[in-house]
């Protein structure tokens, strides 16, 4: 199972927006509306930020939004705050043959 492709890093100043891409194939990202995004701070377990492409779990700020076009999903963080500095991972369902795959991860830096 090849990892989904994410940019290694992204950055923005406080208050700005940053968008992270997650590119897969028609067998995973493009084939199902089951893309999730996770935030991970150093030494901590990941936290679910977006599920089913664009849904936010209770408690996640509406500054976080998700979308998908074809084989590429995106996470946008608006109004960047210092606490948003973390690693972000996408994941996708890949059907019964592949089931689950994560992205390679993106380190977001708040300048």
Partner 1 sequence: QVQLVESGGGVVQPGRSLRLSCAASGFSFSSFGIHWVRQAPGKGLEWVSVISYDGNEKYYADSVKGRFIISRDNSKNTLYLQMNTLRAEDTAVYFCARDMGRLDFDLWGRGTLVTVSS
Interacting residues with partner 1 (CB under 8 A):
1, 3, 32, 34, 36, 38, 40, 45-48, 51-52, 57, 87, 89, 91-93, 96, 99-105
Minimum Å distance from CB 45 to partner 1? Answer: 4
Minimum Å distance from CB 75 to partner 1? Answer: 15
Minimum Å distance from CB 50 to partner 1? Answer: 9
Helix/strand/coil percent split, the chain, to 5? 5, 50, 45
> Which residues make Cβ contacts (< 8 Å) with residue 110, sequence separation at least 6?
11, 12, 13, 14, 80, 81, 82, 84, 85
Q: What is the largest CA-CA distance in the chain?
A: 42
């Amino acid at each position: 199972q090849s990892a989904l492709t994410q940019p290694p890093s992204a950055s923005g100043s406080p208050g700005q927006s940053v968008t992270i891409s997650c590119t897969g194939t028609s067998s995973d990202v493009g084939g199902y509306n089951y893309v999730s995004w996770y935030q991970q701070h150093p030494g901590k377990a990941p936290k679910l930020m977006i599920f089913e492409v664009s849904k936010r779990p209770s408690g996640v700020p509406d500054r976080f939004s998700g979308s998908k076009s074809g084989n590429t999903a995106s996470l946008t963080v608006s109004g960047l705050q210092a606490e948003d500095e973390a690693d972000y991972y996408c994941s996708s369902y890949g059907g019964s043959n592949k089931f689950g795959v994560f992205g390679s991860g993106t380190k977001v830096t708040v300048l």
